[in-house]
Amino acid sequence: MVKGQAEAWRLDEIAHAGPEHLDAGYVAGYDLKAGTDPGPDVALLRDMGLTRDSVLVDIGCGTGRLALAAAPLCRRVVAVDVSAEMLDAVRAGAAALDAPSRPQCVNAGFLTYEHSGEPADFVYSRNALHHLPDFWKAVALRRVAALLVPGGVLRLRDLVFSFAPTEVEDRISAWLDSAADQPVDGWTRQELETHLREEYSTFTWLLEPMLERSGFDILEASYSDSGVYAAYTCARV
Ligand SMILES: C[S@@+](CC[C@H](N)C(=O)[O-])C[C@H]1O[C@@H](n2cnc3c(N)ncnc32)[C@H](O)[C@@H]1O
């Protein structure tokens, strides 16, 4: 291969990142729309052993709600996202923290992030893995396993479907009916339809073997009643 020439078979993560995530206007309204409280996941990570000695990497960090909440509690937090606009929001949020407590921002993706320094004790990722088709999810999960210490913890949350193929029509219809009326209040029907059509949410019964084959033990799995969200706590084997 010619030096500097991209390998044409590799996925272009920016092209699959969701154009809205590269739009500064959308990013400015993201926290209000998402209404995410990082508290329960921070508490879970602490229960799993996160301390001031820990290194945590948040991949697909978005505006950095989790990374900013965890950074003062850890030795090092790396906030990784393919969107430079999202990382600008992380930096803006970090301005309120003392300099040593700020997350380090890295503009990269699941498939390109190169971890340096001591291996991570924790990887966190919320609502980002669905930007990759399943083949690339497995590649990404293997890369995540490789940057963790043995026994290190992956906390993974995403839109993942915990129902059978026979339930698709009813479950998706119920999900679309529950959409927000206004974009500022959450994800609208149109946005959920775009998600289904153009992104890569998969089934839990496909993702779970992928996690295991990529080098994780699934310690805990939980599924929303709607069947469209799943959360996993995994340990690197
Ligand atoms: C729905 S947002 C979630 C952000 C944040 N984790 C949260 O829970 O609020 C998805 C994020 O994933 C990022 N993203 C998309 N594809 C990615 C990839 N291949 N690698 C890393 N981040 C990616 C987007 O830029 C966006 O910031």
Domain with 187 in it: what CATH number?
3.40.50.150
Domain count, the chain: 1
Q: Is residue 52 part of a domain?
A: yes
Tell me 143's DSSP state: H
3-state SS assignment for residue 156: strand
Q: What is the pLDDT of residues 169-192, one digit of tens each?
A: 999 999 999 999 999 999 999 999
Query: By residue range, what is the domain housing residue 34?
Result: 19-236
21 CB less than 6 Å from ligand 1? yes
Q: Is residue 182 part of a domain?
A: yes
Q: Is residue 3 part of a domain?
A: no
Q: Is residue 45 part of a domain?
A: yes
Q: Is residue 202 part of a domain?
A: yes
| Distance from the alpha carbon of residue 5 to the mean position of ligand 1, in angstroms | 26
Q: What is the pLDDT of residues 193-204, one digit of tens each?
A: 999 999 999 999
Q: What is the pLDDT of residues 12-63, one digit of tens each?
A: 999 999 999 999 999 999 999 999 999 999 999 999 999 999 999 999 999 9
d(CA 108, CA 213) in angstroms, rounded, equals 24
Task: Please check the confidence at residue 136 and state whether its pLDDT lies above 60.
Answer: yes
The best mutation among 87, 131, 135, 157 to test binding of ligand 1, ranked by most ligand atoms within 8 Å of the C-beta, falls on 131
Q: Is residue 168 part of a domain?
A: yes
Q: Is residue 2 part of a domain?
A: no
* The Cα angle at residue 70 between residues 68 and 72, in degrees rounded to 5: 85
Q: Whose CA is nearest to atom 18 of ligand 1?
A: 109
d(CA 222, CA 232) in angstroms, rounded, equals 7
The model's pTM? 0.97
User: What local confidence, expressed as pLDDT, does residue 6 receive?
Assistant: 73
